[in-house]
Amino acid sequence: NAGVTQTPKFQVLKTGQSMTLQCAQDMNHNSMYWYRQDPGMGLRLIYYSASEGTTDKGEVPNGYNVSRLNKREFSLRLESAAPSQTSVYFCASSTPRLAGGRNTGELFFGEGSRLTVL
């Protein structure tokens, strides 16, 4: 039972290089998210996808692009990496919030991807 799987777990880039973080979930969730975690700042939402084929900006989208490839996969791309993008990136997916039900949009997280930009 894998849950949310992120790759790679670690990556070192030089300024200006590009890369894509991959995320896949096997829980049949509609919504998926990318957060970044920085010391003293908690988790900040970069982008999210409420369903296959839709994406929306979060709190800190600049410098990133996303693709919701299908229901399972949600990738995050850095086109031209900058040192300010050094961070730990978390992918998450969520259960739907059902009217009158007990599903409350709980997030399930991957183990994170630690990115260093030199």
Partner 1 sequence: AQSVTQPDIHITVSEGASLELRCNYSYGATPYLFWYVQSPGQGLQLLLKYFSGDTLVQGIKGFEAEFKRSQSSFNLRKPSVHWSDAAEYFCAVGASFGNEKLTFGTGTRLTIIP
Residue recorded with tokens 């039900």? 101
Residues 6+ apart with CB under 8 A from 12: 115, 116, 117, 118
Token pair, residue 22, equals 């991959």
Distance separating alpha carbons of residues 11 and 9, to the nearest angstrom = 7
Told to check if 43 binds partner 1 by CB under 8 A, we report yes
Distance separating alpha carbons of residues 50 and 54, to the nearest angstrom = 6
Span of 13-21, 48-56, 66-74, 79-87 interacting with partner 1 by CB under 8 A: 48-56
Least CB distance to partner 1 at residue 107 (A): 6
Question: Using CB under 8 A, which residues numbered 5 to 34 contact partner 1?
Answer: 31, 33
Least CB distance to partner 1 at residue 90 (A): 6
Given the rule CB under 8 A, which residues bind partner 1?
Answer: 4, 31, 33, 35, 40-45, 48, 50, 56, 58, 90, 92, 94-97, 102, 104-112
